[in-house]
Amino acid sequence: MPWKRVISVVFTLLVFAAAVLLVRTLWLHYMDSAWTRDGRVRAEVVNIAADVAGLVVEVAVHDNQTVSKGDLLLRIDPAHYRTAVRQAEARVAARQAELKMREDNAARRADISERVVSRESRSDAGQLAAAARADLLEAQAQLDEARLRLRRTEVRAPVDGYVTNLNLFVGDFAERGEPALALVDRHSFYVYGYFEETRLPLIRVGDKAEMRLMSGERLSGRVDSLARGIYDRDNPESRELTADVNPTFNWVRLAQRVPVRIHLDALPEGLELAAGMTCTVIITPPSGAARAVPLRW
Amino acid sequence: MTTSSVPALPGALRRGLDEWAQSEGPIWAFIFKALLGACVALWLAYRLELPQAGTVLATVFIVMQPESGQVLAKSFYRILGTLLGLAVTVPLLALFAQERVLFLLCLALWIGLCTAGAARYRDFRGYGCVLAGYTAALIGLPAIADPESAFMQALWRVLEISLGILCSGLVSALILPQNSSASLRRLLATRFRDFAGFAAAALGGQLDVARLEQLNARFAGEAVALDNLRNASAFEDPYFRMRSGRLGRLNHEFMVLSTRFHGLHQLLQRLQGEAGAQVRAALEPCLAGVGALLAPLGQHLCSEADAEVLAQRLEGSRCELMEQIRAARRQLVALHPGDQQLLDFNTAAEQLYRFTGDLHDYALTHASLLVHRHAREQWQDSFTPRANGLAAAVTGMRSALLVLGLGAFWIATAWPSGGTCVLTAAMVAGLVAGAPSPRQQALKLLIGALGSAVLGGLLQFWVLPWLEGFALLCCALAPVFALGAWLLARSATAGYGTGLMLWFCIIALPANLPPYDFQRLLNEYLAALLAIGLTTLSLALILPPDRPWLWRRLEHDLRMRVVFAVSGRLKGLVAGFESGTRDLLTQAQVSAVGRPEVQRRLLRWMFAVLEIGQAVIELRQEQARLPAEPCYAAGMPWQADIRALGRALVRLFIQPDAGNRQRALAAVEQAIATVRQTPENRPPQFDRSPLRRVLSQLHFIRSSLLDPHSPLAAGSATDAP
Amino acid sequence: MPREIALFGVYLPNLTLLFVITLAVGWGIDRLVAWSGLYRHAWHPTLLRASLFTCLYGVLMLYVYH
């Protein structure tokens, strides 16, 4: 009977030990490996604004359209700017005529004997011609400016990408510098993985990263860089340049999350990414073996 | 257990330690477990960044019970209740997100419904109802203020509740487990011991009506408790789970057995005068034989092996008993007794014989617990709790009105702590609905909550600011938790403990980043105390449950059990009748605590109902299995007379007055006369002749109707116009 | 196998879903073992039951994560 009891105790304890071991392995797997559920796909987003103000006469793209660098996005009414070019051209012509007159005058004075024309008069005529030349240059610059504005009535895509949030339509008045649509740079997609600070020692720049999207697709990439600063949420504001420290502290300390930027390798065929998608990020060192966990307790 | 391994201890000290471990040990073990469970749950709640650590701990303390099986059963029903509450609230939120008045109305209705359910069932199902209402309030009320995040909040609450259940369930089942199965065994054994002792004495001739009543009232309560224990231990112990059907059957058979014995006892009691003495003298040897069989079992707790021995001995002695009865009848016939005397003898002898049959069944079922799988496990009839529908409806209506009233006040005044107030009212309504005495329970909760306000204030503003780190926090909270657990461990003080722990956890427990906000604490506690106070008041003012109206309703319900026996479906009728009647009596006894004369009257009614109900059911069973012979045909006059008797009994028990009693008596006399005149070509012995058995049952009904001590006689005396 | 699954638009860690599945499977195994009467020979049946369940869950999780 005692033997039976001993065996039953030992058996129960063995199963218990196995359970403890499994839970420990699982814990290490879950808590002490470099992965996070909190990953976001991000991209560089260009805010497109018109360089000149005016009525919109043409919107050459529709929302969510793919565009290449240099494609026409929208056209501002060029009439004002054409007139401005003609004005500037007229002013150049006038200045040219005036320069001609002044130069002729100066040449004439120079040819006439010193006894007939005073030295002063001759010198003045030379200066006036120089001033007229400068005026002409100014008018030419204004003409260039007017032509540039005319060219800029056509807003073109600065990068390859996707039009989003198109918020401007024919007939709208576009203010100068006011964003009218966003252009997501097609080549700039990257992933921000928000890793708990306890896992940061497991991550190095250049490590391989695997991303799993919510829809199930997988992406690969490598660690590009680690953020070197996050906002301190517990001490939200500091006035007059002194620290505003919370007088209480958590009973149980919680790890902060630090963003890790991941550069994406070539995307799989047919996969359309959108900035803001959620993904799981799993990071492995290039060797494949996990890094040693620093001793925490 | 720990002391037995130390042989060197002096005897006195060891005995003292053993005694301590027996009496105080479980309480200390419970306090330790509660502390451990609470600390683990708190740490996990902080670590997992749950928004309300208080909900987790409140769950831990609601679920924590000294016995592990109770904890598991409660947890199971708590999860079910929570999910049900979630399932109801989320659609309500989706429907009435903008209309808070309509939403509050629906919520109040739902809470009222759940409270009524809790009052109706009073077992673990009732607990599930409480939780369904509580969860609805917990999720729905904050959502009124902030409908956008309602769904996420609802999910968080469910997660928090699940975490609390997980912690308390694991801790209480794994560490120093206190098995419900042990108390189940103890209850079974002591109940049978007391019964056997009393039965042996009564069969030996010492009839004691007062003790019989007292014992039967106790048995009725224990039948209800046993069914709960059976449920709980099925959750905890696979050993008992495999025996669950047999335990239910055992409980049922004990109820049948005690009803039968009561009937026998009454018959013997009614054998008065010279004629009665003759019958009693004739029966004497038969009674003594059965009494001798039972006598040893009254001395000690009956184990399964004892039951097996008893079953074997009964097997043999039943044939002997039959012979004894026949011999006794021959003796009696030699004295030339009257018809009545012979009928009395036959009826009593048959009751005795049936009593040994029931006893045999009980012993067989008890003995069958020894094996894992047994044919007796097949048992379909379950314990059917009965409650007064009106009382449950009143309870539900009261809580719905309270929630509605407080909610309206909250909306009208835009009181910041109004949510806590309504939530507390909903919680208290559910918590006290299943309690024996709701008003006292509410008062206990109020005092407990008051204590928690004092302790919470002291702790938050004098102790916690000095502390840093989770270990010190646990040390500071431990005294409060220990006090709460100590109160929870005894059923008399459990109300104070619940009040203390619930509101301490919900209001005063610091968040992970503790906000020391005195105003908030004060407001919340004021709201909670106000709500509990108002609930207590409403319990005292709006149709309070311990008043004559409820006693009258319960008495009526008890009497209606006879109507059920006459007209209910025959399948499962015995189980439904026996368990339901006892459940009703238990409620009646509890609601009339402090009024012994009311308790006695209700007890008497139960006896009258049980006696006549059992006889009626057995008559109906007899009718159902009659052989196909012309004299047993449904159209025979005796069958018609029995149907007439059924109708007369229904009338009598719906309105017990002298006229109806006379009519019922006339009907039973008529039936007896017709049965006697019906020719039957079988020997006139009760094991062969169905009509003979029918006659005994009819005679039993008549003697019960004639009994001057019966409430039927008293009722007809006082209610007579 | 993915570490997360989307369930009606809610992004759940696989842990939770597997827990529910293990609960169902574990309950079945528990019934089976109880039916065979093995728990009667255990020293602390509840501990054994809990440990067995944990082992089942752990093995399943490790399998999924590898």
Do the Cβ atoms of B170 and C47 come within 8 Å?
A: no
pLDDT digits (tens, 9 = 90+) for B445-486: 999 999 999 999 999 888 888 888 889 999 999 999 999 999
CA A172 centroid distance within chain: 26
**Would you state the pLDDT for residue A117?**
82
**CB atoms inside a 10 Å sphere around CB A286:** 10
Which residues in B lie closer than 8 A to residue A234 (C-beta atoms)?
A: 513
Task: Flag whether residue B173 sits within 8 Å of chain C, measured between CB atoms.
Answer: yes
Do the Cβ atoms of C50 and B173 come within 8 Å?
A: yes
Instruction: Classify residue C40: in a domain, yes or no.
Output: yes
**Would you state the pLDDT for residue B588?**
81
Query: What mean pLDDT do residues B587-616 have?
Result: 83
pLDDT surpasses 70 at B4: no
- Look up residue B507 and give its two tokens: 């209001």
Which one, of A26, A34, A40, lies nearest residue A200 by Cα?
A34
Radius of gyration of chain B (CA): 30
Contact B188, B307 (CB under 8 A): no
CA distance A272 to A215: 11
Contact B271, B280 (CB under 8 A): yes
Do the Cβ atoms of A251 and B469 come within 8 Å?
A: yes
Q: Which of C4, C47, C65 sits opposite A37 (nearest CB)?
A: C4
Q: Which of B170, B173, B242 sits opposite C34 (nearest CB)?
A: B242
Which residues in C lie closer than 8 A to residue A16 (C-beta atoms)?
A: 47-48, 51
Task: Categorize the per-residue pLDDT at B720 as very low, low, confident or very high, splitting at 50, 70 and 90.
Answer: very low
Return the residue matching tokens 């200066």.
A127
| pTM reported for the whole predicted model | 0.77
Instruction: Classify residue A168: in a domain, yes or no.
Output: no
Instruction: Classify residue B189: in a domain, yes or no.
Output: yes
Instruction: Classify residue B2: in a domain, yes or no.
Output: no
Contact B207, B264 (CB under 8 A): no
pLDDT surpasses 50 at B632: yes
- Kindly give, in sequence order, each residue whose CB lies less than 8 Å from that of residue B480, ignoring residues fewer than 6 positions away: B452, B455, B459, B500, B504
**Structure letter (DSSP) for residue B465:** G
Among the candidates B322, B342, B371, a domain finishes at B371
Among the candidates B489, B510, B541, a domain finishes at B541
- Look up residue A297 and give its two tokens: 């307790």
CA B414 centroid distance within chain: 43
- Same domain for B185 and B162: no
Instruction: Classify residue A254: in a domain, yes or no.
Output: no
Q: What angle do CA B245, B249, B250 make, to 5 degrees?
A: 115
- Same domain for B531 and B422: yes
Label residues B297-325 b or e (16+ Cβ within 10 Å = b). bbeeebeeebbbebbeebeebbeebbebb
Q: Give the count of domains, chain B.
A: 3
Which residues in A lie closer than 8 A to residue C52 (C-beta atoms)?
A: 15, 19
Neighbour subunits, B (≥3 Cβ pairs < 8 A): A, C
Task: Flag whether residue C43 sits within 8 Å of chain A, measured between CB atoms.
Answer: yes
Q: What is the DSSP string of C20-61?
A: HHHHHHHHHHHHHHHHHTGGGG-SSHHHHHHHHHHHHHHHHH
CA distance B621 to B641: 16
Among the candidates B341, B371, B401, a domain finishes at B371
The partner residues of A76 in beta bridges, in order of sequence, read A56
- Look up residue B64 and give its two tokens: 């924590």
Which CATH number fits the domain that encloses residue B318? Answer: 1.20.58.220
Instruction: Classify residue C38: in a domain, yes or no.
Output: yes
Instruction: Classify residue B592: in a domain, yes or no.
Output: yes
Which one, of A162, A170, A159, lies nearest residue A76 by Cα?
A170
**Would you state the pLDDT for residue A145?**
95
- Same domain for B216 and B121: no
Instruction: Classify residue B447: in a domain, yes or no.
Output: yes
- Look up residue B3 and give its two tokens: 């002391």
Instruction: Classify residue B321: in a domain, yes or no.
Output: yes
Task: Categorize the per-residue pLDDT at B201 as very low, low, confident or very high, splitting at 50, 70 and 90.
Answer: confident
Q: What is the DSSP string of A222-270?
A: EEEEE------TTS---GGGS----S---SS----EEEEEEEE-PPPTT
3 state DSSP class of A274: coil
Q: What is the DSSP string of B35-47?
A: HHHHHHHHHHHHH
Contact B497, B444 (CB under 8 A): no
In degrees to the nearest 10, what's the CA dihedral of A242, A244, A248, A251? -100
Task: Say what the ipTM of the complex is.
Answer: 0.78
- Same domain for B60 and B101: yes
Instruction: Classify residue C4: in a domain, yes or no.
Output: no
pLDDT digits (tens, 9 = 90+) for B497-544: 999 999 999 888 888 888 788 888 889 999 999 999 999 998 888 877
Interaxial angle between packed helices B548-567 and B389-413, expressed in degrees from 0 to 180 and rounded to the nearest 10: 130
Instruction: Classify residue B380: in a domain, yes or no.
Output: no
**Would you state the pLDDT for residue B511?**
85
- Same domain for B391 and B519: yes
CA distance B606 to A230: 75
Nearest CA in chain A to C55: A19
Q: Per-10-residue mean pLDDT for chain A, 297 residues long?
A: 81 88 82 85 92 92 92 93 95 94 90 83 90 94 95 93 89 90 91 90 90 86 92 71 75 87 89 88 80 65
Exposure on the CB side of residue A245, measured as CA atoms within 13 A: 5
- Same domain for B701 and B592: yes
CA distance A297 to A198: 12
Instruction: Classify residue A148: in a domain, yes or no.
Output: yes
Q: How far is B372 from chain C (nearest CA, A)?
A: 8
Which residues in B lie closer than 8 A to residue C50 (C-beta atoms)?
A: 170, 173-174
Instruction: Classify residue A244: in a domain, yes or no.
Output: no
Query: What mean pLDDT do residues B667-675 have?
Result: 87
> Domain span at residue B650?
548-719
- Look up residue B660 and give its two tokens: 């109806």
% chain B with pLDDT above 90? 13
Do the Cβ atoms of A252 and B510 come within 8 Å?
A: no
Q: What angle do CA B505, B508, B512 make, to 5 degrees?
A: 85
Task: Categorize the per-residue pLDDT at B81 as very low, low, confident or very high, splitting at 50, 70 and 90.
Answer: confident
Task: Flag whether residue B586 sits within 8 Å of chain C, measured between CB atoms.
Answer: no
Task: Flag whether residue C10 sits within 8 Å of chain A, measured between CB atoms.
Answer: no
CA B452 centroid distance within chain: 31
pLDDT digits (tens, 9 = 90+) for B678-705: 877 777 777 777 888 888 888 888 888 8
Instruction: Classify residue C34: in a domain, yes or no.
Output: yes
- Same domain for B526 and B577: no
Contact B303, B366 (CB under 8 A): no
- Look up residue A94 and give its two tokens: 């006038």
- Same domain for B463 and B345: no
Q: State how far the alpha carbon of B439 is from the alpha carbons of B164, B315, B501, in Å.
A: 28, 51, 19
**Would you state the pLDDT for residue A80?**
93
pLDDT digits (tens, 9 = 90+) for A18-72: 989 988 888 877 777 888 888 999 999 999 999 999 999 999 999 999 999 999 9
Q: Give the count of domains, chain A.
A: 1
pLDDT surpasses 50 at B284: yes
pLDDT digits (tens, 9 = 90+) for B132-190: 888 888 888 887 777 778 788 888 888 898 899 889 988 988 888 777 777 888 888 88
Contact B383, B106 (CB under 8 A): no
Q: How far is A18 from chain C (nearest CA, A)?
A: 7
Q: State how far the alpha carbon of B602 is from the alpha carbons of A161, B36, B117, B188, B653, in Å.
A: 86, 46, 24, 25, 14
Query: Average pLDDT, whole number, for chain A?
Result: 88
Q: Give the count of domains, chain C.
A: 1
CA distance B73 to B171: 15
Instruction: Classify residue A247: in a domain, yes or no.
Output: no
Alpha helices in B542-595 (DSSP H): 548-567, 573-591
CA distance A180 to A46: 11
**Would you state the pLDDT for residue A1?**
60
Task: Flag whether residue C59 sits within 8 Å of chain A, measured between CB atoms.
Answer: yes
Instruction: Classify residue A83: in a domain, yes or no.
Output: yes
Query: Average pLDDT, whole number, for chain B?
Result: 84
Q: How far is C5 from chain A (nearest CA, A)?
A: 7
% chain B with pLDDT above 70? 98
> Domain span at residue A104?
78-152
Task: Flag whether residue C2 sits within 8 Å of chain A, measured between CB atoms.
Answer: yes
> Domain span at residue C34?
14-65
pLDDT in tens, chain C (66 residues): 556 666 666 666 777 788 888 888 888 888 888 777 777 777 777 788 888 888 888 888 888 766
- Same domain for B683 and B578: yes
Specify whether the backbone of A54 is left (phi greater than 0), alpha (psi in -120 to 50) or beta. left
Contact B138, B420 (CB under 8 A): no
pLDDT surpasses 70 at B717: no
pLDDT digits (tens, 9 = 90+) for B370-408: 887 777 777 777 777 777 778 888 888 999 999 999 989
Window 47-76 of B, Cβ < 8 Å to A: 47, 49
Instruction: Classify residue A85: in a domain, yes or no.
Output: yes
Instruction: Classify residue C43: in a domain, yes or no.
Output: yes
**Would you state the pLDDT for residue B503?**
92
